[in-house]
Amino acid sequence: MTIGQWRKEATNRLRAAGNPDCEADPNWMLCDVLNISRTSIRLMIQDSLPRDKVEMLDAWLARRERSEPLQYILGNTSFMEIKIFCDPRALIPRPETEMLCEAVLTFLKRRDGGKVLDLCAGSGAIGVALNHLCPSISLTFSDLSEDALLLARKNADAMNFQARFIRGDLFESLQGEQFTVIVCNPPYIRTGDLPDLQREVRAEPPMALDGGADGLIFYRRIAAELDDHLEHNGAAFFEVGEGQAEAVARMMEPIGSIEVIDDLRDIPRVVAVYKDGG
């Protein structure tokens, strides 16, 4: 079987399964298993696929037909141009979250390092990207899930840097500590909306998605303690869901000045709060 034949068959099978990315996903699988670029596929369309590669690709294809997320199948994704390991222990990093990282980096560039807390860290993608692009920071990952923290540690180890990994429910294991920057992408999907999510999204950890009845429960809990954990002139940055920015901004107003940052679709995506002016 040639690369072109497998890709055509895979595309047809995924289309029949209702996969909206039926043309792109086979290319990503081929790139990963053959360790080639997407451009190279076009040049290798008539090349034969070794039997062991066909078997691996067919196994991946069957999983994708069952709507398992492609990133879990491949075991990695790209985030801020960094390879991030991902699996069902944590939420898959999204492109929207890169906006969150960019906002933090803009703030950090005005400072000489500092203590950074990646709260609700999940895979650790945010903290790993920040440390890679601003290595002068002192980084702490915190999450309620021990499994997620193990994945975050794997990603940090792959980038060869040291960090702290603290298991706890938001700030419960960080009492008495303050940080220059707190960055957080908490669960923010309304509980009632979870059954209507795409099948791929429902395959991700529910605890990383469920933000309570109105999607805002974690922002409220964080706002209640945030001032105690931010240094003088520190800042906190939050990713928010569509339509949530105004409510989250109001919660954070008592702590400092507020900035709301739109994503590339002009949807308010990041709420930043600057303590004592930042």
Residue 58 has pLDDT above 80, yes or no: yes
Amino acid at 204: E
Q: What is the pTM (predicted TM-score) of this model?
A: 0.93
Considering 66, 91, 110, which residue would you say is the last residue of a domain?
66
Q: How far is CA 219 from each of CA 81, 201, 224, 238, 265, rounded to the nearest angstrom?
A: 28, 22, 9, 9, 23
pLDDT in tens, 4-37: 999 999 999 999 999 989 999 999 999 999 998 8
> Which residues lie across from 165 on neighbouring strands?
141
Residue 243 has pLDDT above 70, yes or no: yes
Structural domain including 222 reads 80-275
How many CB atoms are closer than 10 A to CB 227? 16
Quickly state the pLDDT bin for 248 (edges 50, 70, 90): very high
What is the C-alpha to C-alpha distance for residues 70 and 25, in angstroms, rounded to an integer? Answer: 7
| Average pLDDT for the chain | 95
Same domain for 134 and 249, yes or no, is: yes
Q: Is the residue at 71 inside a domain?
A: no
Q: Is the residue at 72 inside a domain?
A: no
Same domain for 86 and 114, yes or no, is: yes
Same domain for 47 and 88, yes or no, is: no
Same domain for 145 and 31, yes or no, is: no
Burial of residue 275, with CB atoms counted within 10 A of its CB: 0-12 exposed, 13-18 middle, 19 or more buried = buried
- Work out the widest C-alpha separation in the chain, in whole angstroms: 64
Same domain for 23 and 119, yes or no, is: no
pLDDT in tens, 216-242: 999 999 999 999 999 999 999 999 999
Comparing CA positions, the residue from 162, 158, 165, 163 lying closest to residue 142 is 165
Quickly state the pLDDT bin for 39 (edges 50, 70, 90): confident
Pairing of strands 268-275, 179-184: unpaired
Per-residue pLDDT at 250? 97
Burial of residue 251, with CB atoms counted within 10 A of its CB: 0-12 exposed, 13-18 middle, 19 or more buried = buried
Lowest mean pLDDT among 43-47, 72-76, 155-159, 188-192: 43-47
CA angle 117, 121, 125 (to 5 degrees): 100
Q: Is the residue at 116 inside a domain?
A: yes
Average pLDDT over every residue of 120-132: 97
pLDDT in tens, 89-125: 999 999 999 999 999 999 998 888 899 999 999 999 9
Residue 147 has pLDDT above 70, yes or no: yes
Average pLDDT over every residue of 165-176: 97
Q: Is the residue at 73 inside a domain?
A: no
Same domain for 132 and 217, yes or no, is: yes
Owner of token pair 């590669």? 53
What is the C-alpha to C-alpha distance for residues 177 and 182, in angstroms, rounded to an integer? Answer: 12
Same domain for 86 and 217, yes or no, is: yes
Per-residue pLDDT at 278? 66
How many structural domains comprise the chain?
2
Same domain for 146 and 231, yes or no, is: yes
Quickly state the pLDDT bin for 253 (edges 50, 70, 90): very high
pLDDT in tens, 209-223: 999 999 999 999 999
Quickly state the pLDDT bin for 245 (edges 50, 70, 90): very high
Q: Is the residue at 75 inside a domain?
A: no
Per-residue pLDDT at 202? 93
